[in-house]
Structure 1
Amino acid sequence: MRILISDTSCLIDLRKASLLEAFFQLPYDLVIPDVLFEQELVQFSNIEKELIAQELRIVSLPGEGVVRVQSVSRDYPALTLNDCFALVLAEQTPNCILMTGDRNLRNLATSSGIEVHGVLWGIDEMYSARVATANQLYSALLLFKADSTVRLPVYDLNRWIERYQSQ
């Protein structure tokens, strides 16, 4: 099974749209760096954290990985420290997919040869795997559009809304 490493922004967006359970049914080994789980998912309820802990593999980077995180953080100040943890974990995981909503992280990971996707790809994956209906996904996309804290490319989001509206 292919490994999918997610940053927390994607999980937070999926949670807002009540799609976490469907997302966890996808045929991927879902992984998140322990630092991201501990620091960025604090607003999740205990039940949601338990669900995530059951469905996600929470991974610690070894010492040399942490050294690499520090190096990436110095070299790419536009990335948050947690983005650096996700990137380094992806670098150390052959043939993985990195799921992120951060443009800077996406660009750096892509230039490093890492396959990168975002929430809209996740929407398509859930539909293809039949773990969510077109109507559920359409509603989620409308919610994303209305939520100023969800930062998806407007043009792409509108295309996905049109696609799922007509399904």
Structure 2
Amino acid sequence: MRIAVTDTNIFIDLIKTNLLINLFKIGVSVTTTEEVINELLEYQQAVLSPFIESGNLIVSSLSADDTRLIESWPIPRGLSVVDAGLVLFAKTGEDYLILTNDQLLRSTCQHYHIEVHGILWLMDLFFEQGLSTGLELCEALSQLMKGFHRLPILECGIRLTEWSAC
């Protein structure tokens, strides 16, 4: 089974749009780091808590050795230690992919040949797998586009048109 290493911003977006439950239904094992969980607000952590307790969300911690290794990497300026930790974690196996909307993290993943996807890819899966209706996804995407979000406008428009026709 594929393992989806999930970044803070994906959790924030899925919680904000009430689509979080679908993440655990797409046929991947969902994991993250304790450092990502600590970046979330208290209420967001509370939303994730049942998934952690049930074992649907696996949370790992970076060791002191991991942190030293990250600090010795030639990582791009501006990439946080938390994000670099996700890259380190995903590099440990072939079946890993990273879920993020962060452009710097995405380009770092591409540099290390790690598969990376964002919220639009997830929404596409939710639609294709029948986990969300077109209307639900249109509402969720519109909500994300209203906030401070750097989603590609053209790609969003295509999806809004496709999903609203369903």
**2:35 corresponding residue in structure 1:** 35
Secondary structure, aligned partner of 1:132: coil
Which aligned segments of 4 or more residues in structure 1 are displaced greater than 6 angstroms?
none
Kept after mapping to 1: 8 A contact 2:2/2:28: yes
* Structure 2 gap ranges (5+): none
* Corresponding letter in the other structure for 2:80: T
Secondary structure, aligned partner of 1:44: helix
- Determine the C-alpha separation between the residues in 1 that align with 2:45 and 2:119: 23
Kept after mapping to 1: 8 A contact 2:6/2:31: yes
Secondary structure, aligned partner of 1:120: helix
1:59 aligns with 2:57: no
Secondary structure, aligned partner of 1:75: coil
Equivalent pairs counted in the alignment come to: 164
**1:164 corresponding residue in structure 2:** 163
Secondary structure, aligned partner of 1:106: helix
Change (3 A) 1:3 1:155: same
Cα deviation, 1:106-131, whole Å, max 9, x if unaligned, reads 11111211111000000011112222
1:113 aligns with 2:109: no
TM-score, length of structure 1 as denominator length: 0.89
Cα shift at 1:45:
4.7
TM-score, length of structure 2 as denominator length: 0.89
Q: Note the 1:1-167 alignment, pairs <5 A.
A: 1-37=1-37, 39-45=38-44, 47-53=46-52, 54=54, 55-72=56-73, 75-148=75-148, 150-167=149-166
Question: RMSD of the TM alignment (CA)?
Answer: 1.8
Cα shift at 1:46:
5.8
Kept after mapping to 2: 8 A contact 1:65/1:89: no
- Determine the C-alpha separation between the residues in 2 that align with 1:118 and 1:145: 14
Kept after mapping to 1: 8 A contact 2:22/2:126: yes
Secondary structure, aligned partner of 1:27: coil
Change (3 A) 1:96 1:46: closer
Change (3 A) 1:118 1:164: same
* Structure 1 gap ranges (5+): none
Once the two structures are overlaid, the 10-residue window that deviates more, 43-52 or 26-35, is 43-52
Secondary structure, aligned partner of 2:59: strand
Cα shift at 1:63:
4.0
Identical-pair percentage: 24
Once the two structures are overlaid, the 10-residue window that deviates more, 120-129 or 88-97, is 88-97
- Determine the C-alpha separation between the residues in 2 that align with 1:156 and 1:163: 11
